[in-house]
Structure 1
């Protein structure tokens, strides 16, 4: 199983009225790292032919992040079957190693021409191994 990671630093734009990261920002980061992972490994042909549709999303807030915190975003797809995958995302304080957010999202592969679900081909499944 391949783990894709990136590090970000919490900025003023990420902070809410309670002086910690706004919950909506975490949702955006979960989506952003999923997209970054896909774009990092999918070929041009795959990108032109397929897209992902979000089916459902679960996010658990374990702690809070504050202005200036360095966060490690990690994502992986442990299982690919049929037309869907479940993507896991963890957001961790990079300095304390404390888990901030744990997320699972079910994504369905869509054929760009038909806009219908389509079976995940082996070339795509390999992108997550």
Structure 2
């Protein structure tokens, strides 16, 4: 697996009424880093022919992130076979290294031409492993 990483700084738009990062934001960050990872590693040709759709999502919330916290978001694919892949996303507080949330998502590769599931090609598989 090839880990991919980005960081974000929590701002007031990320907070809920308890002044913690809203759970919905964590879900958005999971989606955002998956998309960023794909757009960074996939060639133009691959992106012209395929896209991913989310088919299931599980997230464990461990600790709250607060205003101005820097969050390190790491992702990697643990499995890619047939038409599906499993992606892990881990979010850490940069200053304390404490795990804030961990997500496991399952994705299906879709052919742009047919709009149907497509087998993961060796070329696509090599992007993640």
TM-score grouping bracket, smaller chain normalisation: over 0.9
- Alignment partner, residue 64 of structure 1: 64
| Gaps in structure 1 of 5+ consecutive residues | none
1:31-42 to 2 correspondences below 5 Å: 31-42=31-42
TM-score w.r.t. the length of structure 2 is 0.99
Count of residue pairs brought into register by the alignment: 129
Following superposition, which runs of at least 4 residues in structure 1 exceed 6 angstroms of deviation?
none
1:117 matched residue in structure 2? 117
How high is the TM-score relative to the length of structure 1? 0.99
Structure 2 stretches lacking a partner, 5+ long: none
The offset of 1:113, in angstroms, is 1.3
| Structure 2 equivalent of residue 5 of structure 1 | 5
Q: Distance in 2 between matches of 1:54 and 1:23?
A: 18
Aligned twin of 1:84:
84
Residue of structure 1 equivalent to 2:108: 108
The Cα shift of 1:85 comes to: 0.4
Structure 1 residue 32, shift from structure 2 partner: 0.2
Per-residue deviation, 1:80: 1.1
In structure 1, how many angstroms separate the alpha carbons of the residues matched to 2:88 and 2:54? 13
Query: 2:127 maps to which residue?
Result: 127
For 1:34 and 1:112, the matched residues in 2 are separated by 18
Which deviations, in whole Å up to 9, do the C-alpha atoms of 1:30-58 show, x marking residues without a partner?
Answer: 00000000000100010010000111000
Q: Does the residue aligned with 2:65 lie in a helix, a strand or coil?
A: coil
Q: Following the alignment from structure 1 to structure 2, what is the Cα–Cα distance between the partners of residues 43 and 6?
A: 20
